[in-house]
Homo-oligomer: A and B are copies of this chain.
Amino acid sequence: MYCFNNDYSEGAHPKILEAIQNASLDQHAGYSMDRHTEHAKELIKKAICREDVDIHMLIGGTQTNMTVISAALRPHQAVISAETGHINVHETGAVESTGHKVLTQYAADGKLTPSLIQKTLDGHTDEHMVQPKMVYISDTTEIGTQYTLSELEALSRFCRQNGLYLFLDGARLGAALTSSVNDLTLADIARLADVFYIGGTKNGALFGEALVIVHPDLKADLRFLIKQKGAMLAKGFLLGIQFEELFQDGLFFMLASHANAMASILKNAFTDCGFPFFSDSATNQQFPILPNDLIARLRESYQFQDQQAVDEDHTAVRFVTSWATSKEAVQQFAEDLKRLAHQ
């Protein structure tokens, strides 16, 4: 039974495990004050072409989102998200648990635009309503789509004109930056977003998200907030070691690139069989719309998740590849699909 459920089914790339093993018996400063973390931060600064940022390494996405948002907002302020945004749906109300409303707009492709945000601003005009202050986007989005440079520039300009912080959740940023349709760089993101993170968990690390704070107003006292939210790892050097490996020789991009390549084999297989897609993704998540009886047959050999019922007989499903997905597995799947689809 092969599993396409997600990109965090496997442990970590061998280089990362080896680095952890090599450093395991050394004595390290606690709570991310160690030299590996320091070095990893230098590598990331180089990769994003900026020195004037603060970098912190947290364990997972939900805690990073909740920490950043609650650190940035005053109690009456809210964050704007696409309806499908991870913070709105899949974090068990973590943002609200810190006291803040998530204001949403429906976006068919999972991407916010200036005009969608403007609609929210238009509806929030006085002190009887929350005050929108931050925009949350993810790249890639929860449905595998991604922002273009011009889209991100437009968002960034709009946010700056309207006094909104722009926060980019990059849990799957590797997949976005290495996709065939990408025209963004890490440096662009560091220039256009006020705060963002680079995901390790879904790209070959055991865990870890590297948070980059660009806007000076968002930097103060962040270590207090990280500690309070339970997000400060005692053995923080484990995060440093992992990001050192990821950003030392381009491993971060190689792993994401591999996941995308594996997904494109799946995508081609679905396309060849004539199946439409729920979203237009060039990244490691694919959302084909399949007949329910085919889904049932595929599930005899493969695990994958339902996204959403489309009609009585068809469902959009989600296939996710990872840094560890083998070419054999996706080729086998492609063959099985073709065979089963034509029965």
Contacts and interface: CB of A to CB of B under 8 A. Distances in A.
Interface of A: 2-3, 5-6, 8-12, 14, 17, 20-21, 23-31, 59-64, 66-67, 70-71, 74-76, 78, 89-94, 96-102, 127-131, 201-202, 206-207, 221, 223-235, 237-238, 324
Contacts of A74: 71, 221, 225
B91 A128 contact: yes
Contact of A30 (B8, B30, B96): B8
Given A97-B75, A227-B128, A233-B207, A9 B28 contact: yes
Nearest 9 CB-CB pairings of A with B? A63-B230, A11-B24, A76-B224, A127-B223, A92-B228, A93-B130, A9-B27, A8-B234, A93-B101
B76 A127 contact: no
A130 B102 CA distance: 13
Contact of A11 (B20, B62, B90, B224): B20
Main secondary structure of the interface of A (DSSP, over half): loop
A262 to B, nearest CB: 14
A129 B66 contact: no
A270 to B, nearest CB: 21
Given A90-B128, A221-B76, A10 B27 contact: yes
A97 B99 CA distance: 4
A237 to B, nearest CB: 8
B238 A11 contact: yes
Contacts of A202: 234
Given A11-B24, A61-B234, 14 more contacts: A3-B27, A10-B24, A12-B24, A60-B233, A74-B221, A74-B225, A76-B93, A92-B228, A93-B100, A93-B130, A127-B221, A127-B223, A131-B221, A202-B234
Contacts of A96: 96, 99-101, 130
Contact of A228 (B3, B93, B238): B93
A224 B67 CA distance: 18
Given A11-B23, A21-B21, A30-B6, A71 B60 contact: no
A332 to B, nearest CB: 14
A126 B234 CA distance: 15
A22 B327 CA distance: 21
B75 A8 contact: no
Nearest to A1: B27
Nearest to A90: B128
Nearest to A201: B234
Nearest to A236: B8
A201 B11 contact: no
A235 B63 CA distance: 15
B238 A207 contact: yes
Given A6-B30, A30-B8, A127 B93 contact: no
25 contacts: A3-B27, A6-B30, A9-B29, A10-B26, A11-B25, A20-B206, A59-B230, A60-B234, A71-B75, A75-B225, A76-B92, A76-B93, A76-B221, A76-B225, A78-B93, A91-B227, A92-B129, A92-B228, A97-B228, A127-B223, A130-B224, A206-B235, A206-B238, A229-B229, A230-B231
